[in-house]
Amino acid sequence: MRKATIIGLALVAGLMLSCGAADAHGTGWRQSGMKAVALEFMYSTGEMMSYREAKVYSPEDDRFAAQTGRTDGKGRFAFVPDVPGTWRVVVRDEEGHQCTAELDITPEFLGGSEGALPVSEAGGSDIFVRALLGVSIIFNIALLVHRRRH
């Protein structure tokens, strides 16, 4: 029985190594070359609207927010427009105060990349993750076979 187990594990390992790359979803990041719009929101007293709800509405659909989030501790909020037109950013607090910013984004703003940082791909550990997954599968199969025998 031990010989059959070793042959089975070798067969599984051989099949796994001969398979093409699987396109499982992983993670990664890259720096965008697109221009962002950064705004600061404040009350009439000069106090910043810190950690307040923010919603961005695209010119393509102003009924549903294209982006939602919160301002930071200094009342700042940023977004990246992707179509020209009038974008609307609405910041609200829990007491009913609201500030609306309307920005006309031109095609030139979207097309130009002056001042933008170059796009760079992040390095990934894809091969390491796949190798670790393969070793884990082999180990788990061996453990399963071992437990069945005892």
- Condensed to tens digits (0 to 9), the pLDDT of residues 44-56 reads 999 999 999 999 9
Is residue 86 in a domain? yes
Q: Which domain holds residue 59?
A: 35-113
Does the pLDDT at position 82 exceed 90?
yes
pLDDT band at 119 (very low <50, low <70, confident <90, very high): very low
Q: pTM here? A: 0.59
| Number of domains composing the chain | 1
The span from the CA of 80 to the CA of 66, in Å, is 10
Q: How confident is the model at residue 120 (pLDDT cuts 50, 70, 90)?
A: very low
54: Cα separation from own chain's centroid:
19
Q: Give pLDDT, residue 47.
A: 96
Inter-axis angle of helices 2-18 and 126-149, to 10 degrees?
Answer: 160
CATH at residue 65? 2.60.40.1120
Per-residue pLDDT band for 101 (boundaries 50, 70, 90) equals: very high
Does any domain span residue 54?
yes
Establish if 1 belongs to a structural domain.
Answer: no
Task: Tell me what pLDDT residue 121 has.
Answer: 46
CA distance readout (Å), 3 to 6, 14, 105, 111, 140: 5, 16, 70, 65, 18
Residue 66 has pLDDT above 80, yes or no: yes
